[in-house]
Amino acid sequence: MIRRLLVANRGEIARRVFATCRRLGIETVAVHSDADARLPFVAEADHAVRLPGNAPADTYLRADLVIEAARRSGADAIHPGYGFLSENADFARAVEAAGITWVGPTPESIEAMGSKVEAKRLMREAGVPTLEAPEEPTEADLPLLVKASAGGGGRGMRVVRRLEELATEVAAAQAEAASAFGDGTVFVEPYIERGRHVEVQVVGNGRGRVLVLGERDCSVQRRHQKVVEEAPAPKLGGEVADALHDAARRAAEAISYRGAGTVEFLLDPDTQRFFFLEMNTRLQVEHPVTELVWDTDLVELQLHVAEAPQSTGTLGFSTSGGEPQRHAMEVRLYAEDGAYVPQSGRLVTFEVDHDVEFGLGGERGIRVDSGLASGDDVSTFYDAMLAKVVSWAPNREQAIRQLVRALRTARIHGVTTNRDQLVEILTDPVFVAGEMTTTWLESRPISAESPSDSRASVVAAALMLAADDAARRTVQQGVPAAWRNVVSQPQRTTFEGHEPVEWWGTRDGFVVDGVTVLEVSPTHARLEVDGVTTETRGHISSERPGAPREVWVDGPLLSARLREVPRFTDPADAVASGSLLAPMPGTVVAVKVEPGGEVAAGDPVLVLEAMKMQHTVTAPHDGTVIEINVEPGAQVASGEVLAVVEESVGG
């Protein structure tokens, strides 16, 4: 029996495994980088071992350091979580060679499924339909998909629509995969434009017995990274579901699979044909939806199988599966802006109403799995996911409604998130109808409009700033904010992207046309508009004294960051025309040009890496590179001037 388990991972998945271990009475060990030292998963572990450094290649991808940490802490088992070393056969083999229980599939299974060519050969022999990659692609084979052999999450993945771009995209995918997973191997296969991503959860005992726990739909993706997952898959006929389950069972049996794994398929919604994509020989990020639908703790099953690797009988549970009990849906809440650019910084407030964390519940509810809490820092070194917010209910419609409410009422201050986009997705008619494909989200227009009645929240934010100014005064504290003996004009507060708010400070409080101001403080405002009272809560932050302030507001329909437009521009904040600013904090991976070089609009100038993703900074116009301010390996802050491109005369 496992006595003390080390999780070779971080954040949310480490906390998830620890939760099951606590319930089962198993001691826990965390390993952590310097950047993660103060995060909740470290505090919750019974023991913790530091991995010096921050970059994944120096910490969580160092198999030798992780095994040494297990030895030093007395751990007798290692759970890899997902990502990092979870699908590294050499790591699994080294763990077993050290006499430590490996909570995962055999190294042979990992290698069989990790080699995409070998995996497809095995699947063909097992009678599972596969997508065949052309050996020498031609125009007729386009579009193509470049994929990383190791890992997932959309990293190391590129769609190629022009043959001459293939070599460049392969090189970019290799670099990204090497950074994220420590393995730059990539492969190419046909790209199906309008497919559904459907995957099947399996658990095997390594001796030929396989439990199938239904399917999940993960078609809502952007940049090949899953955004929304649900179980069971909507609008999937019983015969197709049975065929998928059977194919997944055969796939797992073909390699005598041990532990929890996922067999992923691409389904053509028009023909209902499906093809094997890959098998993830680990726990999936989206495993909670299966747990909530089937009332099953998948981590507990992993531990059970690991403790009885020589069992020739049953798994210790039925392999018949049964029927799903309800519908579950998960969204990935990310620190990123509307253009999907990762964000970093202090997560000042992080509150999502929920019923359970990392566990099971009753007939309906909200589950939150997160590696962060209010006050924690979102670093640039790792994935930008803040939390998985999961809803479960007797049917899909109720699950959607619960999830929308949980997101709308959440308080998230300090970093920009994709929360509003998630609400838009969940309420989109295409999603509500269950007609999503893997390309739907990329082709769907991104709404730039705020809710029509968000004005109350913008007014509230302006008044919170005024109340904050009044509270900070050291003189005339009893005088109303912005008081004037002779009023000539209203005060005006402007936020980027919104119409100015005009207001007066009187003896009786604030006055705004069309709004009755009932109560205001630096952290909340209660306003009445057209006879309807609304409550808006907020948080005010500033990078430095005198800099434009930001108000993080949570109103009835608007939860956003509002950035104040200063009345006067500080000359120190001005930048030269043609300056290329860092869109996020990160590391300079490559500089593609030299000072004096000529570039065309859209040409790559630099490549930044942040949160294991690479981002190309391009020339804004035709011109000459007159300045390069960074070099490969440099750490840059968001908004930092990286280079300057002088526009061509007449350009």
Residue 144: inside a domain, yes or no?
Answer: no
Q: What is the average per-residue pLDDT within 210-231?
A: 94
Residue 386: inside a domain, yes or no?
Answer: yes
What value does the mean pLDDT of the chain take? 88
Q: Are 206 and 307 in a shared domain?
A: yes
**With bands split at pLDDT 50, 70 and 90, how would you rate the model's confidence at 309?**
low
Question: Comparing 58-72, 194-208, 314-328, 496-510, which segment has the lowest mean pLDDT?
Answer: 314-328
Question: Comparing 5-9, 90-94, 150-154, which segment has the lowest mean pLDDT?
Answer: 150-154
The most confident of the ranges 243-247, 336-340, 594-598, 611-615 is: 243-247
Q: What is the average per-residue pLDDT within 163-187?
A: 86
Angstrom CA distances, 414 to 538, 542, 599, 609, stand at 11, 10, 37, 22
Residue 65: inside a domain, yes or no?
Answer: yes
3-state SS string for 262-303: EEEEEECCCCCCEEEEEEECCCCCCHHHHHHHHCCCHHHHHH
Q: What is the average per-residue pLDDT within 259-276?
A: 94
| pLDDT tens-place string over residues 53-87 | 999 999 999 999 999 999 999 999 999 999 999 99
Q: Are 349 and 496 in a shared domain?
A: no
Angstrom CA distances, 232 to 215, 291, 581, 600, stand at 6, 11, 44, 48
Residue 612 confidence (pLDDT) = 62
Q: Are 590 and 515 in a shared domain?
A: no
Residue 452 confidence (pLDDT) = 42
Residue 137 confidence (pLDDT) = 87
Q: Are 240 and 389 in a shared domain?
A: yes
Residue 147: inside a domain, yes or no?
Answer: no
Cite the DSSP H helix spans in 436-521. Answer: 440-443, 455-472
Residue 480 pLDDT greater than 70, yes or no: no
- Supply angle C-alpha 7, 83, 438, rounded to 5: 140
SS3 354: coil
Q: What is the average per-residue pLDDT within 121-126?
A: 93
End-of-domain residue from the set 514, 531, 563: 563
| pLDDT tens-place string over residues 422-473 | 999 999 999 999 999 999 998 887 664 444 447 888 999 999 999 998 888 7
Q: Tell which residue, 560, 506, 512, 508, has the closest CA to residue 537.
A: 560
| pLDDT tens-place string over residues 538-578 | 999 876 666 678 899 987 766 778 889 887 655 555 567 78
Strand partners, 78: 6, 102
CATH number at residue 13: 3.40.50.20
Residue 379: inside a domain, yes or no?
Answer: yes
Looking at the 3D structure of the chain, how many domains does it have?
Answer: 4
Residue 504: inside a domain, yes or no?
Answer: yes
Structure tokens at 279: 């098998």
Rounded to whole angstroms, how far apart are CA atoms 258 and 13? 20
Q: Are 472 and 587 in a shared domain?
A: no
Residue 225 pLDDT greater than 80, yes or no: yes
Residue 245 confidence (pLDDT) = 97
**Domain range for residue 585?**
575-647
Whether 411 and 554 have beta carbons less than 8 Å apart is answered as yes
The most confident of the ranges 41-50, 335-344, 524-533 is: 41-50
End-of-domain residue from the set 79, 103, 127: 103
Residue 651 pLDDT greater than 70, yes or no: no
Residue 305 neighbours by CB under 8 Å, 6+ apart: 203, 204, 205, 206, 258, 259, 260, 315
End-of-domain residue from the set 386, 417, 443: 443
Q: Are 488 and 340 in a shared domain?
A: no
Burial class from Cβ neighbours inside 10 Å (0-12, 13-18, 19+) for residue 386 reads buried
Residue 611 pLDDT greater than 80, yes or no: no
Q: Are 531 and 605 in a shared domain?
A: no
Question: Comparing 119-128, 146-155, 189-198, 270-279, which segment has the lowest mean pLDDT?
Answer: 146-155
**With bands split at pLDDT 50, 70 and 90, how would you rate the model's confidence at 118?**
confident
Burial 522-540 (b: 16+ CB within 10 A, else e): bebbebeeeeeebebbbbb
Q: Are 559 and 579 in a shared domain?
A: no
- Supply angle C-alpha 159, 161, 167, rounded to 5: 75
Residue 211 pLDDT greater than 90, yes or no: yes
Rounded to whole angstroms, how far apart are CA atoms 565 and 618? 27
Q: What strands lie across the sheet with 641-647, from one edge to the other?
A: 579-581, 641-647, 623-628, 598-599
Q: Are 370 and 488 in a shared domain?
A: no
3-state SS string for 366-432: EEEEECCCCCCEECCCCCCEEEEEEEEECCHHHHHHHHHHHHHCCEEECCCCCHHHHHHHHHCHHHH
Q: Are 538 and 478 in a shared domain?
A: yes
Q: How many CB atoms lie within 10 A of CB 161?
A: 11
Residue 158 confidence (pLDDT) = 87
- Which residue shows structure tokens 């043609």? 578
Structure tokens at 13: 């998945």
SS3 124: helix
Angstrom CA distances, 56 to 35, 188, 223, 333, stand at 11, 26, 22, 22
- Residue 167 C-alpha from the chain's centroid: 28
Structure tokens at 141: 């084979």
- Percent of the chain surpassing pLDDT 90: 62
| pLDDT tens-place string over residues 625-644 | 999 999 998 888 777 899 99
CATH number at residue 319: 3.30.470.20
Residue 570: inside a domain, yes or no?
Answer: no
Q: What is the average per-residue pLDDT within 299-318?
A: 72
Residue 164: inside a domain, yes or no?
Answer: no
Q: Are 227 and 355 in a shared domain?
A: yes
Q: Are 270 and 312 in a shared domain?
A: yes
Residue 312 confidence (pLDDT) = 42
Residue 313 pLDDT greater than 50, yes or no: no
Whether 416 and 343 have beta carbons less than 8 Å apart is answered as yes
CATH number at residue 607: 2.40.50.100
- Supply angle C-alpha 110, 116, 121, rounded to 5: 100
